[in-house]
């Protein structure tokens, strides 16, 4: 891991790293916030919240805009933010649109060429990055996962597909039923092909019926979100959870939009949700 930058923050430390990713066959950058408990002369390993960001974002959006570090420092919780896709792999069309290719990896493993070699963000987020972080930084293997929009979709899918890997999961304005919305249909057809049966493995709403672990889902959604009616469809996720007795709390917030102003307003609730599951409260 190559250390790119470091900043002190609420007694902890924000760092950015670059490393060679085997899963993605390219160099990747990620950010980590280490709380005070993980630093100093006698550091104690701390649990980790993995945050998955949305379309067009990098590792820096959450760290600079969400305002999570103050409470994370108090709780003794590390936060790791990966990028949202491979970068600079020179695939045709990777930079043509905001919702496919660069900045839009959708946290799946692509099977369609030419994307299959590099666009394996699921393997990267679930396996490769945690293994690297846990081997090289003062953190434990106690994990939580959360995210926003495309990243909320990713957090739900990662948790539902990996029973026992995460202690808790939450999401802000997730793309809850991607196989039935324009963003998801574009990404899934491009990365996976046109066989919709293959899409089901990457759709949280369709994963609920066969989930082998019933982690409670905390989902926050703004009523003034410009993508609520056309892209996000939280009602489909709630319906699936109710039919299959999967615990979910969907909190609708009047007047809030899709921005980081919304995330910053409620991020403490999510940190406390994860801290309780991780034994920090």
Catalytic residue numbers? Answer: 149, 225, 258
Let me know: does 78 contact 139? Beta carbons within 8 Å. Answer: yes
Closest Cα partner for 30 from 115, 132, 167?
132
Long-range contacts of 13-20 (CB under 8 A, 24+ apart): 13/39, 14/63, 14/69, 16/59, 16/60, 19/132
Let me know: does 202 contact 106? Beta carbons within 8 Å. Answer: yes
Query: Two tokens at 177?
Result: 């039923």
């Amino acid at each position: 891991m190559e250390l790119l930058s470091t900043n002190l923050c609420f007694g902890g430390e924000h760092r950015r790293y670059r490393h060679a990713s085997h899963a993605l066959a390219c160099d990747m950058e990620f950010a980590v916030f280490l709380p005070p408990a993980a630093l100093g002369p006698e550091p104690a390993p701390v649990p980790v919240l993995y945050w998955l960001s949305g379309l067009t974002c990098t590792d820096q959006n959450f760290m600079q805009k969400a305002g999570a570090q103050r409470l994370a420092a108090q709780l003794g919780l590390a936060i790791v933010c990966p990028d949202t896709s491979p970068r600079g792999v020179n695939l045709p069309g990777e930079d043509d649109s905001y919702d496919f290719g660069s900045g839009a990896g959708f946290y799946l493993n692509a099977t369609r060429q030419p994307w299959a070699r590099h666009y394996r963000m699921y393997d990267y987020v679930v396996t490769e990055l945690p293994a690297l972080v846990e081997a090289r930084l003062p953190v434990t293997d106690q994990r939580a996962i959360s995210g926003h929009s495309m990243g909320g979709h990713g957090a739900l899918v990662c948790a539902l597909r990996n029973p026992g890997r995460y202690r808790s999961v939450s999401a802000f304005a997730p793309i809850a039923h991607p196989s039935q919305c324009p963003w998801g249909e574009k990404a899934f057809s491009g990365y996976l092909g046109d066989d919709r049966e293959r899409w089901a493995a990457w759709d949280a709403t369709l994963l609920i019926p066969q989930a082998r672990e019933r982690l409670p889902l905390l989902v926050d959604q703004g009523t003034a979100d410009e993508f609520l009616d056309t892209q996000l469809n939280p009602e489909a996720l709630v319906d699936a959870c109710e039919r299959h007795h999967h615990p979910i709390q969907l909190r609708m917030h009047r007047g809030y939009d899709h921005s980081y102003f919304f995330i910053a307003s409620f991020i403490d609730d999510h940190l406390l949700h994860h801290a309780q599951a991780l034994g920090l409260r």
